[in-house]
Amino acid sequence: MTITNAMVLAAGLGTRLRPITDTTPKPLVKIAGKPMIDYALDALADAGVERAVVNVHHHADQMLAHLGQYGRLQIIVSDERDRLMNSGGGLAKGIRLLDRQPLLVMNADLFWIEPPAEKTNLQALADFFDPERMDMALLCVRLEDTTGHNGKKDFNLADDGRLMRYREGDPRPVVYAGAIAMLPALLDDAPDDAFNLNICFDKAIASGRLYGLMMHGHWLTVGTPDAIGEAEATLARLREPV
């Protein structure tokens, strides 16, 4: 399916990136000359998304100015300046600004470099998502295909695509790559308070409805100032002509 709605989670404080984030919101920190959030927005636009909710909190004035100049998508702002809602609460609040169609969800502080293919990673995730069987479909990546990650293995990916929390010795460990395909109805009963998205993951696991799809390419995340140089070096290497 083609998914035309999305939400980008961009309201975090970016505390591990201090002192940079003392004056700049984390999504606007530039990697190879490009703000991190633009990697996410461009990936969504490339996949056929037409409108995206973006939540804002930290240095919201800078975020609003930047988002107002982004031209490839209709941007709808979910304002969290009064209260941070954490990942789950922010998502539940933001998707109320969209219609009831399926949506893609992305984090604003990670991205990937993917090889040319018939479908982008997000297009493949949208096609993979089956609401009859799945509450959520998560984009996943092998640990060895990451830069900047802390080494934590998040899930085990079964042969049928189902995800379970990783336990030591599991045969197919994967890292959650920060992109989701889902229906907004999943959060109809979500609390109005802040909560972590992991609660939704665990609820879907309990009902056997959390699935994962392996991404193609190399995944990057930038959590500390030292990680910026590492990410830029990786980008330069992967973009070198063969």
Confidence of residue 1 (pLDDT cuts 50, 70, 90): confident
The share of the chain scoring above pLDDT 90, in percent, equals 76
> Could you list the residue range(s) of the whole structural domain that residue 119 is in?
5-239
The pLDDT value given to residue 242: 38
pLDDT value at 149 more than 70: yes
pLDDT value at 240 more than 80: no
CATH of the domain at 221: 3.90.550.10
Confidence of residue 13 (pLDDT cuts 50, 70, 90): confident
Pairing between β-strand 103-107 and β-strand 5-9 as defined by DSSP bridges: parallel
Is the separation of the CB atoms in 164 and 54 below 8 Å? no
The pLDDT value given to residue 96: 93
Is the separation of the CB atoms in 11 and 59 below 8 Å? no
Count of domains observed in the chain: 1
CA torsion 72→63→104→40, rounded to 10°?
70
Q: What is the pLDDT of residues 190-238, one digit of tens each?
A: 888 899 999 999 999 999 999 999 999 999 999 889 889 989 989 988 8
Q: What is the pLDDT of residues 79-107, one digit of tens each?
A: 999 888 999 999 999 999 999 999 999 99
The pLDDT value given to residue 114: 92
Q: What is the pLDDT of residues 23-55, one digit of tens each?
A: 999 999 999 999 999 999 999 999 999 999 999
pLDDT value at 6 more than 50: yes
Is the separation of the CB atoms in 52 and 75 below 8 Å? yes
pLDDT value at 3 more than 60: yes
117-149-66 Cα angle (round to 5): 70
Q: Which long-range contacts (CB under 8 A, 24 or more apart) does 24-28 make?
A: 24/59, 24/62, 25/56, 25/58, 25/59, 25/60, 25/62, 25/63, 26/58, 26/108, 26/109, 27/63, 27/108, 27/109, 28/59, 28/62, 28/63, 28/66
The pLDDT value given to residue 42: 96
The pLDDT value given to residue 105: 97
